[in-house]
Chain A
Amino acid sequence: MKPAPFTYHDPITAGEAVSLLTKFEDAKVLAGGQSLMPMLNMRFVVPDHVIDLNRIDGIAGIRDGGDTIEIGAMTRQRDLMRNQVIATKAPIIGEALNWVGHFQTRNRGTIGGSLCHLDPAAELPCLMALYDAMLTLHGPSGPRQVPFAEWPLAYMLPSIGPDELLTGVSVPYWEGNTGHGFVEFARRHGDFAIVAVAALLTVDGGKITRAAISIGGADVHPIRLTEAEAALVGAAPNAAAFKAAAENARGIETMSDAYVTSAYRQRLAATLVERALSAAASIANENV
């Protein structure tokens, strides 16, 4: 088993990669290869051209941008887990990555690859939805920015042109006394999430001042529980408030597949929302 023939390109600048994407019609971008390579090996995709980003300088790495964390698209998942800026400013990212595949796949897999592949159950898109991350794309007419809320257009279809390249992600830093919770239910550890929930809570003077809840795996792309988030603001971070948020999750739109029904996903989402919020609150309370 191996891929159908293709022409391989290994540009050394992002500009060169964009030129190649503009020039060739049937081209696939190869980042860490942990999703594209299996699809090539099984001939689910049969591109004429493969454009490998691994030799490009300057689109990998993590930088503290003050009120944001700037992450290059080719940053490996392993490097996100080992990074001090992320560990202090957005520890949920490192924690959630424990659920992404296995350590051997995280050594190659990249954040940009995961965001462009946009698997409904993937953890990194769920986290970028949580943070309202800003994505930077480069195309023939220069760079443009896309907020994550506008990134998924449909099932595994990101808002990226055929001649565009995702180069970086900007993750806003949550000020104040913020706690986080990430919980996931999968059939086996490292397998795709049936449902994953990520939550952030900022608590000040015994009241929630800011909340975000992102649910992955339930629908065709990550969804934010905006109504429940709004209801949490001003409330005390207690079991009753989290139960109400969980009830809200029970009403979300969910997928059905060969193994798991839509109703089961809704029940799971409700349970996991409650757990993620409790975890977030206990971290926020510890910080006081």
Chain B
Amino acid sequence: MADTRDIELTVNGESRTGTVETRTSLGDFLRHGLDLTGTHMGCEHGVCGACTVLVDGEAVRSCLMLAVQSNGHEITTVEGLAEDDGTLSALQEAFWKHHGLQCGFCTPGMLTSLSAFLRENPDPSERDVREAISGNICRCTGYQGIVDAALDAAKTMRKGS
């Protein structure tokens, strides 16, 4: 018989509950249990970074965390980065402006990772940004647009605060 647990967590500000098989990853639970398909599952062993979400504000791999471990925690996925009325965050806006994506597969992981990174590093150098996304693999852009977007977003956010 499957080993299951009832969990209760906050996802993008909303309280959610679910019954999960304990071997289910947080990423699979978000996608299949909560229909939040913005989080992309890529390599499923922590290398590609596509599945990155924020757990209590910190960027983590949702493929390397069990859904049951998120019980009682606060999760932010890419769906939770924009304003409630759909206004894009400064980072998302910058990705649009600088062509920070092509196919979009890595984008949720890039956006969640860089959101957490820019919160702690409001004035990063290009090198800092490249190091921050060294655990996020993009096969389309060559990273240049992503780096430009992150630096531009940082500038916008510094002006705003």
Contact = CB atoms under 8 A, between A and B. Distances in A.
Interface in A163-196: 188-190
Interface stretch (B78-86, B129-137, B139-147, B149-157): B129-137
Interface of B, secondary structure class, is mixed
Most buried by B among A4, A103, A189: A103
A37 interface: yes
> Is chain A's interface secondary structure helix, strand, loop, or mixed overall?
loop
A89 interface: no
A2 B64 contact: no
Interface stretch (A104-112, A217-225, A231-239): A104-112
Interface residues of B, number: 32
Contacts of A102: 49, 134-135
B97 interface: no
Interface string A90-111: 0000000000011111011000
Contacts of A7: 3, 22
A37 B22 contact: no
B59 A104 contact: yes
Contacts of B24: 2
B74 interface: no
Interface string A1-23: 11111111010000000000000
A82 B125 CA distance: 20
Interface of B: 2-3, 5, 21-25, 28, 44-46, 49, 52, 55, 58-61, 63-66, 68-69, 113, 116-117, 131-132, 134-135
